[in-house]
Amino acid sequence: MSNRENADVLIVGAGPAALFAIFQLGIYGFRCHLVDRLDRAGGQCAVLYPDKPIYDVPGFPETCGGALTELLMRQAAPCEPRFTLGRAAVELACEADGTWEVGLDDGTRLRAGGVILATGIGMFDIPPGGAVEAAELVPGPAAQWPLERSRGGIRVDPATFETARKGLFAIGDACDYPGKLKLILSGFHEAALATQQMRRHLSGGKRSSVEYSTTSRRVRQRLGRD
């Protein structure tokens, strides 16, 4: 990997909400790059308890973290995500031109038009340690700002899942808003709504209509289905 990589959207975390965000952004033509300190995609439940039964994912009378991750990866595949696994994001900066830069623990710097924090509950007690909570990412020199905390999460606007910083979003267990439940299914909803605001952000504020896979040929073509 080169020392600087660009993507439309940088996602910190690779759990269920992050994986579904690839799909949601992908149907509008955006490419995502995911970073996770764990060595595989799927987040906490897939990595720590891959075979433990889960009963509350809608449409799955019973599944488990491993199986759900595989399905989400397959659903995201046509959107051609890139992954950097086993590396922690340790720095986050907004550049003068409005783009974002994320620094990894090996010195790699990744740049994107927008960033989604999808770091789950944030701290995993897993070797090799060095875990950094999303809200404790070190703001880079170009940014003088805090992430607003709320009940252990990052406060977001529940209409957009944007934080107080333009182009910086939080979804899944990392975010908080009135009524928030730490359910996988809520992470999917949060990814979908964040996508609409990310579209506006990446297009300089332009509002575009929502496209549905059942009615939009362009969406189906991006998924290789038409």
For its own copies, the closer CB: 62 or 97:
62
In the DSSP assignment, the letter for residue 160 is: T
Please list every residue from 85 through 144 that binds its own copies, using CB under 8 A: none
Q: Of 29-37, 89-97, 142-150, 217-225, which part binds its own copies (CB under 8 A)?
A: 217-225
Using the rule CB under 8 A, is 212 a contact of its own copies? yes
Q: Which of 11, 27, 41, 110 binds its own copies (CB under 8 A)?
A: 27
Q: Is 175 in the site for its own copies (CB under 8 A)?
A: no
* From 48, 54, 90, 131, residue interacting with its own copies (rule: CB under 8 A): 54
d(C-alpha 17, C-alpha 134), whole Å = 15
Would you call 105 helix, strand, or coil by DSSP?
A: coil
DSSP 3: S
Residue placing its CB nearer to its own copies in the complex, 74 or 166:
74
Among 5, 50, 60, 99, binds its own copies (CB under 8 A): 60
- The least CB distance from residue 220 to its own copies, in Å, is 7
In angstroms, what is the C-alpha Rg of the chain?
16
Q: Which of 196, 20, 32, 4 is nearest to 106 (CA)?
A: 4
Asked if 1 and 108 count as a contact pair (C-beta separation under 8 A), the reply is yes
Q: Which helix (H) or strand (E) holds 200?
A: helix 184-202
Would you say 138 or 159 has its CB closer to its own copies?
159
Q: Is the peptide bond before 158 cis (omega within 30 degrees of 0)?
A: no
Q: Where are the beta strands (DSSP E) in the chain?
A: 4-12, 32-36, 53-54, 63-64, 82-85, 89-94, 100-104, 109-117, 138-139, 149-150, 153-155, 168-170, 175-176
Among 2, 3, 51, 55, binds its own copies (CB under 8 A): 55
Query: How many residues contact its own copies, by CB under 8 A?
Result: 49
Q: Measuring CA to CA, which residue among 135, 154, 132 is closest to residue 37? A: 132
**Nearest-approach distance from CB 119 to its own copies, in angstroms:** 19
Residue 205 in contact with its own copies, rule: CB under 8 A: no
Shorter beta-carbon distance to its own copies: residue 99 or 213: 213
Q: How far is CA 175 from CA 108, 147, 157, 222, in A?
A: 26, 11, 10, 29
Q: Is the CB of 88 or the CB of 169 nearer to its own copies? A: 169
Q: Which residues bind its own copies (CB under 8 A)?
A: 16, 20, 23-24, 27, 45, 49, 52-63, 68, 71-72, 74-75, 158-160, 177-179, 181-183, 185-186, 188-189, 192-193, 196-197, 210, 212-214, 219-220, 223, 225
